[in-house]
């Protein structure tokens, strides 16, 4: 397995975890009845439905990681782009998504 394949597997798995965590966070806010503290009541249904989209996208990222692990390049359609090579750039990009999630979990 090449270094590029390992890097892409890690990126797909990190994306899967972040998307799944946001979906789970929306579900937990809904179950606890605190979703309306964060969103407009008229948008509550749309936010709840967005959790389904987040889970679907997380499953797609997991599937892409598995395909990459099996040696099949999921980017064969040329619709994907390479993540930055810099570790600092990757940490910054993923931190932008993780920071709101962490603050939300610490708040509740």
CA distance linking residue 16 with residue 62, whole number of Å: 6
Residue 42, pLDDT score: 96
Tokens of 17: 């975890």
Residue 87, pLDDT score: 84
Secondary structure (3-state) at 108: coil
pLDDT in tens, the chain (108 residues): 788 888 889 999 999 999 999 999 999 999 999 999 999 999 999 999 999 999 999 999 999 999 989 887 665 555 666 777 788 988 999 999 999 999 988 876
Secondary structure (3-state) at 60: helix
Residue 77, pLDDT score: 59
Residue 51 sits at the vertex; the CA angle it makes with 87 and 53, to the nearest 5 degrees, is: 75
Extents of the domains making up the chain: 3-107
Residue 98, pLDDT score: 94
């Amino acid at each position: 397995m090449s270094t590029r394949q390992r890097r892409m597997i890690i990126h797909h798995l990190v994306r899967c975890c972040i998307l799944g965590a946001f979906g789970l966070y929306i579900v937990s806010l809904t179950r606890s009845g605190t979703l309306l503290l964060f969103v407009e009541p008229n948008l509550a249904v749309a936010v709840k439905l967005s959790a389904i989209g987040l889970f679907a996208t997380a499953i797609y990222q997991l599937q892409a990681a598995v395909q990459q692990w099996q040696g099949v390049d999921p980017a064969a359609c040329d619709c994907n782009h390479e993540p930055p090579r810099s570790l600092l750039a990757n940490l910054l990009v993923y931190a932008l998504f993780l920071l709101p999630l962490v603050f939300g979990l610490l708040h509740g």
